[in-house]
Structure 1
């Protein structure tokens, strides 16, 4: 609003949208039924959609495709000229006739009754019999004299299919603070309930894409790793400490430290998500550091013959400073993450807080719980080869001693050849820096992994209509579905994009596919390799279409490199941009190079002759209103049937709004 006064008058108000992963749809659904298309759409809009929108955490649902019932008044321009009637007269007559109007009250000293004029259209005949004008006494002109009124379908502005089957698409977004997994569970349950209640209509909801599937799979994988980590740590502790008792003490120390992490997560409103669980997996090894160091020293004092209490106290006191140093080193490594201001700062902060709190708690556990348990169940260990486990532990100790001796010899060599070893370290450092500088190791925020899912966008010429887009896209769709690696394909023709930064408005010349490949075990090709080969095949088969692809993972991906050109001369900037685009396209590895500014769609401009308009008594507003009504239509009126209102659209007949000549002929 502050810069609005500095912009040209014809510029529309800018549309601003916050770019956030929360703005992306979490679920894409395809709905089908054996009901007539218009009836199914109305049920979806009036019955099913409100039930889903009432679910806690659901923010917005976008409908794709479907056929919405609409009463269309198609005016014949030649008949308007014959009866000397304007299009605005037809619109005004219909809009003024089809209204309900409260007229007031009729009341006496004892009774009070409301008076209402009932004039809403109930049938098509009501619209057809609306009087427009009276050219002469006894010669009225009705709507049916200048127009045809049909019970039709609203102009289709998007189409949705799942695996080639037409349906109504739903793209569901969650609220910013809602848990995506919980929302997904509630939505799945509600869809099953609607299906069972409407089984006679064979209503089916197919989940075409659910982003929480990847989240759940990732979380489950991390939980499995967490359990495995605890088990492996226990086994390693048993091998090195050679004591069931000591291994048990370490095993108790791990969950005790983790419980504190859960408490902090609850206080700060965190959830068990990928980052917090990943932090817990990482710190399993860190949590036992303090416990192992302290416990090993306590065991040393026990082996010296001291009583349990003295061994626990003296063993802890001897290395208290070392344990604090170990813990603080881990803390200061993760502490700076709290002050990051990057795109995923909130997720990384959760990771950092869980690591820091758990690590500090492990120090507390190491100073309190571990010595106390050692003072109660600790025991001097004197292993004898009396059973298989003891013999194995003694054998392992021998192998460990052999390794330590070998390491000692290597360390002696290093200490005798300090200059040579220093040179080796410096050489490795130089090689590491060189690898980083040369870009041999790539950089990215987070690897998407091979989820077997990607998005394919199709862009046609800007003059392409939705109908033509649908026909051409269906051919591409059928070609892709024939690929043996493809499991499912969700089509969004001319509807709003599901990508990050979408403003919720579709384009007639753009389509979007969400493609899910078969599980990795059932295909012999990686997702990105399949995408590249598919693009080459599509370019050969459909050369007039512009294809762009993006892998779908846990985090949305945008163009990794963006270059901004600015200047006062727009033509020069555009020329330079096209030249730069051509150069970048020749660089190996560059893919889908695009300009953010494109040429506008072709249009017919109607420039009024102010002098002639003044002589004819016309205004720009009147002419503009007639133009809009002729080519877009006026849908202020409604037809009410069984309590449901259907829009009535008034515009020119199809053959009067096709081309340039029709614009010129408008009167």
Structure 2
């Protein structure tokens, strides 16, 4: 073989190639970024628009729909969704994976600019951002102080901290929740307004007009020029009292005559509380950091923490900033755990090698393949622009035993040739040449499996692209090392014991207990190998029985698989979770906060809880109204608590039955593809609001009755109470009023009207709000008495007349939707649900689909399953496609290398023989068929063929040397048993640390190792007997088809090595 010959002849050259691989890998490692998972979220561009005071119906009709229709033509979109709430519209454009999001954002900006004039004139300019405001923040920071008010903390967080954090590269946005910012409130006096015939609009206009700076131009002096500006900004908020609003009979009417100016705080719309068992709950201001889609979580979090340290040096000493939640910490822990898993797997693999080869020299020669292959993989990761993440490290962790396989087979065959009496150089050359084709075949078979894995579609394909490429490259490097470094070292570094038959002498004189154990193991293995030869001879005489056992194992696997069930991703103990809750629609933030205190108090009764962090309302205005909140729960390290996260959540679900007036819902742990949430998402879609609402209620009732469903929720939580002001157009026209005049009169009453911004001495700006006092916002009767300024002139005063609102409009109590959702240009209601412990998501989803089918929705109304259910369905198709392609690729490679159409079929029979072990392993460990275990099954397609290749390749060589078929099979099986068992054990023990699920989040990764280990065990045991039997059957078929004569069997050959 060319590579081994060159390496043996030029050992320095071979050494330098290995050093080069290490250098490239180490340099690449230092340049790789770190993240928890590959970025597999669909790039999202959000268009957020504010229209203060507008109802959800108005926001949908006048804002969301025009923007949706414009953006639906953007190239590369996956779907367009929108949420319309009171005064807010959020249109989200989810792009296809791989789309250039920067170019897409420019396209979105152009489309929105084109339809800007179609939006209502009072709508604020849409804000276009490259992240989803519904995404979970990567970091939450609590701001507290024992000496300052919440108002001061809010201003500090909003004006200083948020601004400094938003300037960090990769930060998509910063939400400040839980506070009440400073606000200059101009409280109108309705009686005084009537007496002076002044409208709220006049007050607002006067405040804005008198609080500004006006550039007046320049004056030119002989040697310089100077700017001229009129400085009219008000320095003291109380000075707003002196602003002149109007003139009545020559007398100025000032703000103080019709209103009272209060330097206060905005109305409370959100709250945040940090709670511990010892100190209870303390109110705080929450700062939540979101990252731009595609940016690196760890890098952004590190930059945020660095900026927090800088701020701590400049802020007053009483300000306490505490990082409550930081995803980068969990990422580092997860990566550290996987790295430890890799090292433990490597150690166990090396021990297996020593146990079988019983030579530290052979162990070193073989073991050098591991660091070279692993470190070289970082070079491939760098070239493909990957990151060091859980999936790339998981690839290396699973491949530890696989990477050393080629080196094991090569070194074991070299040792066998040395024991045959050859010198080290000749043994290295001939031993490598003899096994070269088999090793090449096994490696290419493994690589062939990961080609379809790397190129699967959808999110699953994106994430396993990095997995597949990393494994494939590392395996190819291990093949290269096995053909270069191993034979080179074997030729220049002789083993005296092997060369001079020293093992026998060493057995006699050694007192080393480890070597004694290794020698005892070797003796036991040799006896077992001799017996195996006899067992195989018996199997060849009972071929029908062996085939029956093989078919029975496949049938047993088929019977066992349905009981496993399907799940998208396995649950795992993250040490944290969220409890979301919603009060009835229309609930004030004070009521929701009180209910949140009840929930948080119940949570803190759990001894394993370290702290809770409750936020109510806020969230940037989208999806987090005053009736919704969330309690973040942080648990103690799982090594320090007796119960798992699932057990704690089950206990909490029982305790939450004590809470009335609010519906808590426990979110699942954050996974590869998103934040905490409900795995089952059902979208009920249809055209008409009322019938859609009824259809959603039917679906909700059907889902609630499905066994295993936990805490179902609906985006249509009910309608919020509202007052409808229905204007009589004839009466309004007669009174000199228009719809706009009535609306602008009422706006200060209910919402307040921002007149201007006031700048404090520190340079921070605060809203100046013109608003009626709370006492005027109590009942419909109060509203009816509101005076509206008319265009008609009162003949008694010569001033514009005022008309009571009741004269031109009726005030009626009504209800309206809290929010309106749309997806793909259709209205929808979202229904979400969790899955109770003991149930798997696939079965629950299937039961939900059946229940929905039974109720029969009206024509034009339908359901679409999303979330993890949709991901699972897509993954099933992609995995099945990958398995079929892997089988085809393996056959193509084996047929090409063996020069036979039939022999690859005997080897590939190992594939279904692994299914029973997979099913048993998952059943014993309580696992399911999920993304991780499915990828493990695909990986098995390449691994289990290795044993058959080693065996059949040697049989062919024996027959070419003149042995008859049975003798060739028996001799080959006896000789190849050691490398087959050794490589299988190496793979199993290399994956064992991963299978034991040690470390944070390891439960999510373990099913892949469970599937591989189980499949390897049953496949190896059955392959040792079934593959030789099937080989003889196919050989008989070839004899009948081609007419050639079978090789004559030498009697007694089956006893050549004893029973």
**Alignment TM-score, normalising by the size of structure 2:** 0.59
- Structure 1 SS opposite 2:566: coil
Q: Secondary structure of 1:73's partner?
A: strand
1:546 pairs with 2:663:
yes
Report the Cα distance in structure 2 between the residues aligned to 1:646 and 1:563, rounded to whole angstroms.
43
In structure 1, what is the Cα distance between the partners aligned to 2:572 and 2:377?
28
Residue 135 of structure 1 aligns with which residue? 248
2:444 equivalent to 1:328:
yes
SS at match of 1:263: helix
1:82 and 2:172 matched:
no
Q: Distance in 2 between matches of 1:573 and 1:18?
A: 24
Q: Secondary structure at the match of 1:201?
A: coil
Provide the residue aligned with 1:249 in structure 2. Answer: 365
Which of these residues, 529, 551, 556, is aligned with residue 431 of structure 1?
A: 556
Tell me the residue number matched to 2:544: 419
What's the CA shift for 1:486?
1.7
| Equivalent-residue separation in structure 1 for 2:160 and 2:209 (angstroms) | 30
> CA–CA distance in 2 between the matches of 1:552 and 1:290?
39
User: For this pair of structures, how many residues does the alignment match?
Assistant: 652
Q: How does 1:117-128 map to 2 (within 5 A)?
A: 117-128=230-241
* Structure 2 residue corresponding to 1:392, chosen from 517, 529, 532: 517
What does the per-residue CA deviation read over 1:133-176, in whole Å, with 9 as the maximum and x for residues that have no partner? 22113x32211111111110012221111111111111112233
- Secondary structure of 1:607's aligned partner: strand
Which deviations, in whole Å up to 9, do the C-alpha atoms of 1:251-298 show, x marking residues without a partner?
Answer: 112112223211111112222211111111111111111111111122
Give the Cα–Cα distance (whole angstroms) in 1 for the partners of residues 283 and 686 of structure 2: 47
CA contact (8 A) 1:466 1:493 kept: yes
Q: How far off its partner does 1:377 sit?
A: 0.7
- In structure 2, C-alpha distance between the alignment counterparts of 1:347 and 1:567, rounded to whole Å: 34
Aligned to 2:765: 645
Q: Is residue 2:420 matched to residue 1:304?
A: yes
Q: Which moved more, 1:66-75 or 1:547-556?
A: 547-556
SS at match of 1:457: strand
* Counterpart-to-counterpart distance in 1, 2:633 and 2:93: 27
Residues 466 and 508, structure 1, Cα contact 8 Å, conserved in 2: yes
The 3 A distance-change label for structure 1 pair 11 and 224 is closer
Which runs of no fewer than 5 residues in structure 1 stay unpaired?
A: 2-6, 498-502
Cα displacement string for residues 150-209 of structure 1 (whole angstroms, at most 9, x for unaligned residues): 1100122211111111111111122333322233233333323433443x5322222211
Q: Say which of 508, 530, 534 aligns to 2:626.
A: 508
Deviation at 1:24, TM superposition (A): 2.8
Q: Which residue of 2 aligns with 1:194?
A: 311
Partner of 2:592: 469
Give 1:660's aligned residue.
Answer: 780
Please give the alpha-carbon distance, in whole angstroms, between the structure 2 residues aligned to 1:289 and 1:54. Answer: 51
Kept in 1: contact 2:577–2:676 (CA 8 A): no
Q: Shift of the alpha carbon at 1:392?
A: 3.1
Aligned CA distance change for structure 1 residues 649 and 573 (closer, same or farther; 3 Å): closer
2:596·2:631 contact (CA, 8 Å) conserved in 1? no
Deviation, structure 1 residue 471: 2.5
Whether the aligned pair in 2 keeps the contact of 1:290 and 1:323 (CA below 8 Å) is yes
More divergent stretch after superposition (70-79 vs 234-243): 234-243
For residues 585-596 of structure 1, the aligned pairs below 5 Å read 585-596=704-715
SS in 2 for 1:588: coil
SS at match of 1:601: strand
SS in 2 for 1:491: strand
Partner residue in 2 for 1:160: 272
Asked if 1 retains the 8 angstrom alpha-carbon contact of 2:271 and 2:593, the reply is: yes
Q: Is the 8 A contact 1:463 1:509 kept in 2?
A: yes
- 5+ unaligned residues in a row in structure 2: which ranges? 1-46, 48-59, 68-81, 83-89, 95-130, 276-280, 788-1059
Report the equivalent of 1:45. 158
CA contact (8 A) 1:254 1:287 kept: yes
Please state how far the C-alpha of 1:108 moved relative to its aligned partner.
4.9
Which residue of structure 2 aligns with residue 625 of structure 1? Answer: 744
Structural mapping, 1:339-418, within 5 Å: 339-379=455-495, 381=498, 382=501, 383=503, 384=505, 385=507, 386-389=509-512, 390-418=515-543
Would the alpha carbon gap of residues 489 and 80 (structure 1) be closer, same or farther in structure 2, given more than 3 Å must change?
same
CA distance in 2, matches of 1:40, 1:628: 29
Q: Which SS does the other structure have where 2:458 is aligned?
A: coil
* Change in 2 beyond 3 A, CA 1:626/1:570: closer
Structure 1 residue 50 displacement after superposition: 3.2
Deviations 1:592-616 (A, max 9, x none): 2233445442221222222222223
Measure, in 1, the Cα distance between the counterparts of 2:274 and 2:742: 44
Q: Give the aligned partner of residue 446 of structure 1.
A: 569
CA shift, 1:521, in A, is 4.1
Deviation at 1:456, TM superposition (A): 0.5
Measured in 1, the distance between the counterparts of 2:157 and 2:749 equals 30
How much does 1:647 deviate? 1.6
> Is residue 2:157 matched to residue 1:32?
no
- Mapping of residues 228-307 of structure 1, within 5 Å: 228-307=344-423
Q: Equivalent residues in 2 for 1:10-21 (5 A)?
A: 13=67, 14=82, 15-17=90-92
d(CA) in 2 for partners of 1:303 and 1:11? Answer: 80
Distance 1:461 1:432, change over 3 A: same
Deviation at 1:33, TM superposition (A): 2.1
Q: How far apart, CA to CA, are the structure 2 residues paired with 1:317 and 1:614?
A: 101
Residue 430 of structure 1: how far off its partner (Å)? 2.3
Q: Kindly state the Cα deviation for residue 218 of structure 1 after the two structures are TM-superposed.
A: 1.5
Corresponding residue SS for 1:160? strand
For 1:65 and 1:173, the matched residues in 2 are separated by: 17
**SS state of the match for residue 592, structure 1?**
strand
| Partner of residue 694 from structure 2, selected from 568, 572, 575 | 575
Question: Could you tell me how far 1:214 is from its partner in structure 2?
Answer: 2.3
How far apart in 2 are the matches of 1:185 and 1:403?
Answer: 57
In 2: Cα distance, 1:432 partner to 1:173 partner: 46
CA distance in 1, matches of 2:680, 2:184: 49
Show CA shifts across 1:445-478 (max 9, x none).
3324112311111111112011222223223322
The RMSD of aligned alpha carbons is 2.5
Contact map agreement 2:595 2:662 (CA 8 A) in 1 = no
SS at match of 1:606: strand
Alpha carbons 2:187, 2:259 under 8 Å: kept: yes
- SS of equivalent to 1:388: coil
Q: 1:409 to 1:577 in 2, by over 3 A?
A: farther
Contact 2:752 2:771 in 1 (8 A): yes
How far apart are 1:564 and its partner, in Å? 4.3
Q: Distance in 2 between matches of 1:638 and 1:80?
A: 23
Structure 1: distance between partners of 2:678 and 2:667: 9
Question: What secondary structure sits across from 1:343 in the alignment?
Answer: helix
Residue-by-residue CA offset, 1:297-332 (whole Å, 9 max, x unaligned): 222222223232222221111121101110011111
Separation in 2 of the partners of 1:579 and 1:47?
Answer: 49
Helix, strand or coil at the partner of 1:444 = coil
Does the CA-based 8 Å contact 2:207-2:755 persist in structure 1? no
1:530 aligns with 2:648: yes
Change (3 A) 1:513 1:426: same
Normalising to structure 1: TM-score of the pair? 0.92
Aligned to 1:4: none
